[in-house]
Amino acid sequence: MNQKTRVLIIGAGVAGLSAAYDLARADYDVTVWEAAPQAGGLAAGFKASHWGWPLEKFYHHLFQSDHDIIRLAEEIGIGNDVFFRRPITSVWKNGRSYPFDSPLRVLLFPHLNVLDKARMGAVIAYLRFSSQWQKFERVTAHEWLQRTMGRRAYETLWEPLLVGKFGEHYREVNLAWFWARIHKRSPALGYFRGGFQHFVDTLVRRVEGLGGKVYLSRPARRIRPLPEGGFHVQGEGGEWRGDVVIATISPTVFQRMVPELPSSYLEKVRNLRYMGAVVMTLALKHRMTEQDYWINLPKKEGFPFLAFVEHTNYMDREHYGGDYIVYLGDYLDPDHPYFQMSEQELLDTFLPVLPCFNPNFTPDWITGVWVHKATYAQPVVPVNYSRQIPDIVTPIRGLYYASMSQVYPWDRGTNYAVEIGRRVAEIVQSRKL
């Protein structure tokens, strides 16, 4: 009698669930363990009692080029729940926001002259229509953009983006990361009816409908390779024995779970660097801005966060009980003081700058505050990063590692979580134990 190959997937984020879906369809015996009380990882949502839709803990949207997640949504029966709108995205300069999401708006931007704009436009066009990214990873974005765009355009627009994303590491980030952002982004942004949690919950149901098992609040603690082959995995509330383990967790947690990995592979995992994310979400009585969905904020103008995102200038506020919803988000080193601050301490830090966006703002506008933190949120990608990434197939037979640090040259996001999840599932199916 043939016995099904038993697979344990550690992490019920979008990557882990995508792998689980494909393997369950291929008749593998699939189990998923998730440490959190809900599935979704960085795409998971939360919901106030009077809201109709949940809201992402960390702001999310899709681009029209995000074919992998759109295709998977169609496969699991919710393709019609993906829709696109074109909200206004802006940059902040000298005390106000400027829409900056179309060629006309770039031309109208008053803080660069015509020559600066022409030069910048030529560089952006070159990157957008270049298909080979490998040459771009050999140089830093900081050095190349200054040289090609000119110092004024770079320092006005693009250096603040890099500083906001990568903090003191911004000079190390390679140009391929910037190329990927330019190459794939679209002015129209996509969202799920019912939020990204609707996509996640549907994916969980499809996995379970195919015979897979998804356990929440079950963190894995130790992955032990067995001498005869296969694995024994210990976790809180259970243990598992089987043939294949796919880990979709942070590099720090993964290398701690499997100390038996060869030192050469472990060194690559340990050397992966990343930024964390701290996001405060506010429910408000009144609108903060008339039109801006997203404003990129330069740290040098004194803002204590990178992005101001007025979600209800993108999604209708009736989905949130009439509340106006604003995200205040930042990427930070995992040891940044924000990770240790209480909700009130962070609110006290952020409140003083909110009148910059609306001079009528007063603290009594706030009807709800939520803070979410993740120490693993944005990989740092230095020069020649492709040579430094650990392979999905680890040196231990039957053990696979698939994380956002390996979707390179693409930036982290739900689309590439789907892609790497389905890729590792395909690799598992192609290899004989």
* 94 within domain boundaries: no
Among the candidates 346, 361, 380, a domain finishes at 380
CB–CB of 192/421 below 8 Å?
A: no
The set of residues, in sequence order, having a beta carbon less than 8 Å from that of 380 and lying 6+ positions away, is 166, 169, 172, 173, 273, 274, 275
Claim to verify: residue 75 and residue 198 sit in the same structural domain: yes
Claim to verify: residue 357 and residue 286 sit in the same structural domain: yes
Claim to verify: residue 256 and residue 313 sit in the same structural domain: no
User: 1 falls in which pLDDT band (50, 70, 90)?
Assistant: very low
Claim to verify: residue 256 and residue 325 sit in the same structural domain: no
Claim to verify: residue 344 and residue 279 sit in the same structural domain: yes
Q: Is the dihedral of CA 54, 35, 419, 137 positive or negative?
A: positive
pLDDT in the model for residue 237? 86
Claim to verify: residue 199 and residue 63 sit in the same structural domain: yes
Instruction: Write the single-letter amino acid at 259.
Output: P
Question: Cα(18)–Cα(4) distance, rounded to whole angstroms?
Answer: 19
Q: Quickly list DSSP for 261-278.
A: S-HHHHHHHHT-EEEEEE
Claim to verify: residue 228 and residue 368 sit in the same structural domain: no
Residue-wise pLDDT tens digits, 117-138: 999 999 999 999 998 999 999 9
User: 166 falls in which pLDDT band (50, 70, 90)?
Assistant: very high
pLDDT surpasses 70 at 2 = no
CB–CB of 339/276 below 8 Å?
A: yes
CATH code of the domain containing 76? 3.50.50.60
Residue-wise pLDDT tens digits, 286-339: 999 999 999 999 988 999 999 999 999 999 999 999 999 999 999 999 999 999
Cis? peptide before 227, omega within 30° of 0: no
Percent of the chain with pLDDT over 90: 93
* 96 within domain boundaries: no
Claim to verify: residue 12 and residue 54 sit in the same structural domain: yes
Question: Cα(142)–Cα(144) distance, rounded to whole angstroms?
Answer: 6
CB–CB of 7/243 below 8 Å?
A: yes
Number of domains in the chain: 3
Strands 6-10 and 244-247: parallel
Question: Cα(218)–Cα(33) distance, rounded to whole angstroms?
Answer: 6
Domain around 371: 273-380
* 1 within domain boundaries: no
Claim to verify: residue 307 and residue 405 sit in the same structural domain: no
Residues belonging to the chain: 433
Among the candidates 136, 159, 182, a domain finishes at 182
Claim to verify: residue 283 and residue 361 sit in the same structural domain: yes
pLDDT surpasses 80 at 433 = no
* Mean pLDDT of the chain, nearest integer: 96
Query: Which H/E stretch holds residue 92?
Result: strand 88-93
Claim to verify: residue 11 and residue 45 sit in the same structural domain: yes
CA nearest neighbour of 284 among 333, 251, 321 = 321
Would you call 81 exposed, middle or buried from its count of C-beta atoms within 10 A (0-12, 13-18, 19+)? middle
Strands 366-380 and 273-284: antiparallel
Among the candidates 182, 205, 226, a domain finishes at 182
The tokens for 105 are: 């708006």
CATH code of the domain containing 352? 3.90.660.20
Question: Cα(335)–Cα(271) distance, rounded to whole angstroms?
Answer: 16
Query: Which H/E stretch holds residue 165?
Result: helix 159-166
Q: What average pLDDT does the segment 259-269 reach?
A: 97
Question: Cα(58)–Cα(70) distance, rounded to whole angstroms?
Answer: 20
Question: Cα(323)–Cα(283) distance, rounded to whole angstroms?
Answer: 6
User: 77 falls in which pLDDT band (50, 70, 90)?
Assistant: very high
CB–CB of 393/427 below 8 Å?
A: yes
174 alpha carbon, distance to own chain's centre: 18
287 alpha carbon, distance to own chain's centre: 26
What pTM was computed for the model?
0.95
Claim to verify: residue 404 and residue 350 sit in the same structural domain: no
